Structure 1
């Protein structure tokens, strides 16, 4: 199939722009891109193909949400309301709120119920042009529920036209009444081994923070993940600076996520290791943070920046990747080109998905076609979804 009468933002240039091709053509063979370029340069062997015209619309790589928690039970709207009415976090926790409530609901929900809820969330992302989504565990905090969450995440990719990358996040929080060290050694690491043996894990993540796990505890998890041949990710420096970003860089992690309290030295370490900084403005907004990630330092050192929703029931109930792009620009002064790179090229890199995220010959034909005049409109609109059509693996 030949797609014509389009503008193409290839996102294939590591520079500051979109890699834009005006008056472009794009050839799809099976699930791959066979050719892209100015339509005037169309190779003769493609001249007889079926043509689909898109009336001058913009084509980008399909979007990638590289950090989500969309498999979980229940929601936290009640405690959101309680806080707005003046309750403290301690009072919310005493009332059964916080992560404990999500863990309880996730443990209590059947796989069928968790899948039904996750599919509604996946549908919202698909409707905005998302073709790849990362889904974490982490609301089980016991072996059986962590594996249940990962099975549901796999099932999302079977039930919908979306590619799912799973991350084991057993080191998400310390369960009530447990000691952090004993939980890591006696529950988290055995659950990781079991999940890997079941073929449920694509990467290993953790929450390295004062309210969760320190660098020594995360190091033990990372060492096991390394033995299993699994790539690493890390929630790092979200609320304070305790060395998570440096740990991620030391282990050559795919990404360090949140990174609000990262330093310029951290940025240099990420650049050296090739680790992506995943920017999560939804959590910054929802918990009313004041410390923004060091975007200028990331630019200075050439750290690739991704942007994601962090869709979760507590700190980022954000179901729009387009809105996350707008927030990254508005709250953190990222450019629209950086935001789009962050949800395409760099998001693919944060998930080790080397066959997507840019438009080039040989890449997977996951594409988004937009009713916009310029690529900047994708980050400019607030609550606007200009998606015209999504192409998944070459299928319209």
Structure 2
């Protein structure tokens, strides 16, 4: 009997998640168990082990034998999803007995893990795996054990989906703020009327200096009235643009070259917000990659891939140049499309292409 409370406790409690593999194994009389979830079949974000195999043994599996796991491969076949199976139905005992993973990993440890009750769960874009095991001298799993685990598959899938959403929210919040603080640009998130929602350290320091931009009644204003007129016009235009099209204006300050304020609108749920990035020519960092990252919340790798696509590079060229697989490049491009609210490369090129290329100012040069 598997209690649904134990499963849903694991949705928000890390310790409960760590115990869940053992809980499932105990419920069906398995000797060991493992479950994990990720955003792709071969990707695991979190793993729960029952503790039968040591961390060192599992590390060897991850590094040397994961691609030879014929049980896992069988479960990934079409039609085997969201159900529990006695894996012997797909991998006969004789086939497993002759496999590399059994002879070079299991037997080399002096172990006899030979039987498996497993399932692959797909729910809300999350892929989860469950594997419960018995030794060769133990009796095979039967229909009663399959039924017990099958009755909990839906709950386990929802638990995986909840952990995935919480993980994305927490990771996005931490990584985005850290990234924005490291960019070397002042980054503002605004409502369409110019009211401040949030800003990074650079933007906070810029407002404190008060030499170009000011905060009045939660609205970001330019110190120079002419610049403020241009700023408010740019904000109004950004709030009605389609997609992530961008523009830029100069914001003059008391001394030195003016800031270049890049402005774009982004969709957050059903609402639109505006991201404004103040680039300081004196900092010698007018990087298009950094501005793409800040405007659209991309990782550095995603921003570099976006810029490369706009320059006409193909997927295979990107894969070879960056030393990653084609699947990695495709995943990065998919993430880029989501964040830029577009669905094809031509739209991506159009949106990135609207951002002005900034010339780094040398002493005595003018900003162009």
TM-score band, normalised by the shorter chain?
Answer: under 0.3
- TM-score normalised by structure 1 residue count: 0.22
Q: Which has the larger radius of gyration?
A: 2
Query: Which structure's residues are more often helix, by fraction?
Result: 2
TM-score (norm 2): 0.23
User: Which gives a bigger RCO, structure 1 or 2 (Cα 8 Å, sep 6+)?
Assistant: 1
